[in-house]
Amino acid sequence: MRKIKLVILSITLLLALNLPPVGADSRPLTDQQLGILVGLAVDSHWVRQESASQSLVYGIVTPADQVPVGVSRDDSYLVARDGDAPTVVYYRLGGQQVYVSYPAAGKHHLRTVKFTVRQLRHRFFRTAAQRRQVNALVSKLQTE
C-alpha cells in the first residue's frame, strides 16, 4: 500500500511540475523538424511521396520572394520541387502556436490553420520510431 501511495505522489508531483514523462524527447525541435511535423499534419502522403523522390525543399521566405497575402517575411516553408504547380506549405512559430498556411484544394487562396507544438509532438513525434521517421524525412530535405 505504501508503494502505491509513493507512485501516486510521484505522478502527482510530475503533473504539478509539468515535467515530461521519462523517455519523452523534450528537446526543442529544429525548424526543419517542425516543418516535417507540419507537413505530416497537412498531408502526410504528400510529405512521404515528395521525400521519397528527393523533391521536398525547405526554406525561409526572404524579402525578395513573391508570396501570397498572409505569408510574412521569415515564415518557413516546405515546397515540392517537381510538378507543374508546386505545393507550398508555409509555417511560423509564435510561442507554442504554429501558424500554417497552404493552398486549399482547387482554390486560389490559402487555408490557414493553427496547431500547438504539443499537438504536433503528440501526434507525430512521441515514440522513438516516430522520432526516427521524422529525422529520416528531415535528412532528405533539400534546401534553397
Q: Is pLDDT above 70 for 43? A: yes
C-alpha cell at 24: 519523452
Q: Distances in Å between the alpha carbon of 89 and those of 17, 77, 113, 126, 132?
A: 35, 5, 11, 23, 22
Most confident of 26-30, 37-41, 103-107: 37-41
The pLDDT of residue 7 is 42
